[in-house]
Amino acid sequence: MVRQSPAFLSQAWRKVTLSRQTLGPQVWEVKAAQVWQVQGEDWSQRTYWLIWARNVTTGKRSTSCPTRPATAKVATLVRVRVRRWNVEHGFRVGKSELGFTHYEGRSYTGLMRHQVLCLLMLTFVAEHTQRLRGEKSGGGRWSRSAVR
């Protein structure tokens, strides 16, 4: 639809620049339009955003249909979509490094407590890693004398 619809073909790409903490800014080109969805055999009661974005640097293309109201700003929707990666990365690290998958309880409250403990541990490790990297000489490269 995004490649053939006049709603997308007639509009120019808009640039959205996303600031990042560790790397330089990320630039996305975006086209967006309001669309209706088919729900069952009927059209939806309201419109939804359909966003087509491409990363200027990598060429990666992405489409999304966020369920936000028509008054939402497209730049904000793109920022939220791209920042979702941070949340997914946190879960991935929590599962692989901090024992988030080791929870065997049966209550939602217990699961949330376990998640909070895992995230606190991740914060602790990240803070001390940052502090220790600052003390390392030689640009952070390992040498035989440093390992001993």
CB contact burial 42-53 (16+ within 10 A = b; e otherwise):
eeeeeebbbbbb
For residue range 31-66, list pLDDT tens digits in order: 888 777 787 888 877 777 788 888 888 888 877 777
Alpha helices by DSSP H, 1-148: 6-9, 74-97, 108-135, 144-147
Q: Name the 3-class secondary structure at 64.
A: strand
Cβ atoms < 10 Å from Cβ of 64: 15
pLDDT band per the 50, 70, 90 thresholds, residue 147? very low
**45: which 2 tokens?**
């009661």
**Is the pLDDT score of 11 beyond 70?**
yes
**Is the pLDDT score of 148 beyond 50?**
no
pTM: 0.53
